[in-house]
Chains A and B, each alone.
Chain A
Amino acid sequence: QSALTQPASVSGSPGQSITISCTGTSSDVGSYNLVSWYQQHPGKAPKLMIYEVSKRPSGVSNRFSGSKSGNTASLTISGLQAEDEADYYCCSYAGSSILYVFGTGTKVTVL
């Protein structure tokens, strides 16, 4: 099971919107609506931002939204803020005996 493909970096100015893609296969992203997104600041544990493709846990800003089309999931951050600068990882349930596959990670830079 290969890692999901994410762009290495995405940047934007404060207030702008950015979108991070997460491309998998028909065996993971394409088969299950169980894609989640995690935010990780340096030296910190990952924090769940989106689960089940588009659901937001309580306490997560509504500036974060998720979607999926075919084998590609996406995370959109609107109204970009300095605190959004972090690494972001997607994760998909992959079924069978390899339960989860993570994305390669995307570094978001706020210009």
Chain B
Amino acid sequence: GAGVSQSPSNKVTEKGKDVELRCDPISGHTALYWYRQRLGQGLEFLIYFQGNSAPDKSGLPSDRFSAERTGESVSTLTIQRTQQEDSAVYLCASSGRDSNYGYTFGSGTRLTVV
């Protein structure tokens, strides 16, 4: 597609429920990144996929968080047993083979845990 697409744009869930967030990167972009942005704070790296290589999961805050990506296509970020501190905007970005040109970000999913 023309840009990075994320869905849903907004999600309200009850504490303890599982949620799935979806990211559709730019076609042909080999790298895909998930970041979390809490209210009034900077971006916190979560996970990075590069082609068919093993993902860099070093930023995932707990084992309740997981992400998958099939090849160079859609990625899903799953949060199990959501907690109120998970409330944030979850941003996805993708980049081409040459990441010197930076990332292209999606508009994000605003997650609210009540």
Q: Do A and B come from one complex?
A: no
Q: Spell out A's residues near B (CB within 8 Å).
A: none
